[in-house]
Amino acid sequence: MLQYAVKKILYGFAVMAGVIVVVFILFNILPGDPARMTMGQRADVSSLEAVRKEFGLDKSKPTQFFLYLNDLSPIGFHENTAENKEKYHYLKMITIGDQVLALKWPYLRRSYQTKRDVTSILSETVPNTFILAFTAMVFATVIGVFLGIVSAVNKDTWIDKAANSFAILGISAPSFFAGIIIAWLFGFVLSDYTGLNMSGSLYSYDPFKGEIMTWKNLWLPMVTLGLRPLAIIVQLTRSAMLDVLAQDYIRTARAKGLSRNTIIYKHALKNALNPVITAISGWFASLLAGSFFVEYIFGYNGLGRTTVNALEMADFPVVMGSILFIAFVFVIINILVDVLYAFADPRVKLA
């Protein structure tokens, strides 16, 4: 098991290395001058040179890449200066002459626009996105499993057809399209009845109470983000339940005179949830990435909206940092799921 886990972790490192290379090429090597895009077309030469020097854009591309790797690596080699000690947040360091070999947190650089650390910017928005993704996954799981059970138990009835039609609609509708419709319908047309707004973040400012959580602003983006996984969970649960309900032990349970609810929820459901659990583990990471346009549509202050705004302003360090963070979450979740599968079923390791 340990050897299997180590192999998966090494694969994860390889994936992250590939993502880092692609991200660096996209935002540093392809045509375009970040300094010009940051300062504007009317900026003078001296201002542009100052920006390039400040962010290391005046160096050759290979040098920029190796410096970027040095910043992202948990083990870095830097000049022994007070500025670097404050910038890199060393955990432990070894002084070698005028250089420092240090164990540190990955450094995602500074924003071109605000000059703030990208890590600080992301730390303010990532919790909001995690809350949105988690609540969307809970919403999708609870409603999806319920509709899947109802659909399977009432196979070939109008209830089954309605649940299947809803699932097909949920899978077919892109999140940005569904978000616009939901925002307009429930946040504008029916706002007097729903009490919901077309846009708004999880936190709002009250002149008397200060910053407060506004849970109602979470409802519409949560439903929008959860529609696609909900639709898939409905179909997975229905298919798995139909397969389980046809098993011999279910017939035996019926012959014993057990109630319908006992058969469905105690015996059939727990054996039908394996594909649903698999879908949930994969979808949670996808929801973090899929929240980009949903957050932008609803004005929800999260990682997605921050990234889109940064992309509009050519604030590439913020965009690169958010992409690397999402990739890291994907890798970690995939490693955990693979290890859990191997722990539950040793045949996975042999495969």
DSSP 125-164: HHHHHHHHHHHHHHHHHHHHHHHHHHHHHTTTSHHHHHHH
pLDDT the model gives residue 53:
77
pLDDT the model gives residue 118:
92
Residue 92 has pLDDT above 80, yes or no: yes
Tell me, rounded to whole angstroms, the distance of Cα 301 from its chain centroid: 14
Share of the chain above pLDDT 90, in %: 11
Question: Distance between CA atoms of 339 and 73, rounded to whole angstroms?
Answer: 25
**292 CB-near residues (< 8 Å, 6+ apart):** 303, 304, 305, 307, 308
Highest mean pLDDT among 84-93, 114-123, 255-264: 114-123
Six token digits for residue 274: 């394996």
**160 CB-near residues (< 8 Å, 6+ apart):** 151, 152, 154, 238
DSSP 214-279: -THHHHHHHHHHHHHHHHHHHHHHHHHHHHHHTSHHHHHHHHTT--HHIIIIIIIHHHH-HHHHHH
Least confident of 193-202, 224-233, 246-255: 246-255
Question: Distance between CA atoms of 12 and 19, rounded to whole angstroms?
Answer: 11
- Residue matched to tokens 């705004």: 309
Question: Could you tell me the CA-to-CA distances from 329 to 25, 123, 132, 167, 334 in Å, in that order?
Answer: 21, 14, 15, 27, 9
Burial degree of 165 (CB within 10 A; 0-12, 13-18, 19+): exposed
Say if strands 75-79 and 99-104 run parallel, antiparallel, or are unpaired. antiparallel
Render pLDDT for 62-75 as a digit per residue (tens, 0 to 9).
888 998 998 898 88
Residue 350 has pLDDT above 70, yes or no: no
Tell me, rounded to whole angstroms, the distance of Cα 182 from its chain centroid: 21
Asked whether the beta carbons of 177 and 228 are under 8 A apart, the reply is no
Tell me, rounded to whole angstroms, the distance of Cα 15 from its chain centroid: 17
Strand partners, 206: 210
Asked whether the beta carbons of 186 and 194 are under 8 A apart, the reply is yes
pLDDT the model gives residue 339:
77
What average pLDDT does the chain have? 83
Highest mean pLDDT among 48-57, 193-202, 247-256, 293-302: 293-302
